[in-house]
Amino acid sequence: MNRGQKAGRVPLGGPASLCVLAALFSWILVASAQSSGSSVWDGVFTEAQAKRGEAAYLQYCASCHGSALEGADVAPALVGGTFTSNWNDLTVGDLYERIRTTMPLDSPGKLSRQQDADVIAFLLKMNAWPSGASELAPDAGALKQVKIEATKGAR
pLDDT at 5: 53
Closest CA to 93 of 137, 43, 45: 137
Q: What span, in angstroms and rounded, lies between the C-alpha atoms of 36 and 107?
A: 36
pLDDT at 90: 98
pTM of the predicted model as reported, rounded to 2 decimal places: 0.76
29 or 73, which is more confident? 73
11, pLDDT greater than 70 = no
41, pLDDT greater than 80 = yes
Q: What span, in angstroms and rounded, lies between the C-alpha atoms of 2 and 60?
A: 70
69, pLDDT greater than 80 = yes
Give 140's contacts (C-beta < 8 A, 6+ positions apart).
93, 96, 97, 100
Percent of the chain with pLDDT over 70: 75
* Reported confidence tier of residue 89, pLDDT bands at 50, 70, 90: very high
Domains of the chain from N-terminus onward: 38-147 (1.10.760.10)
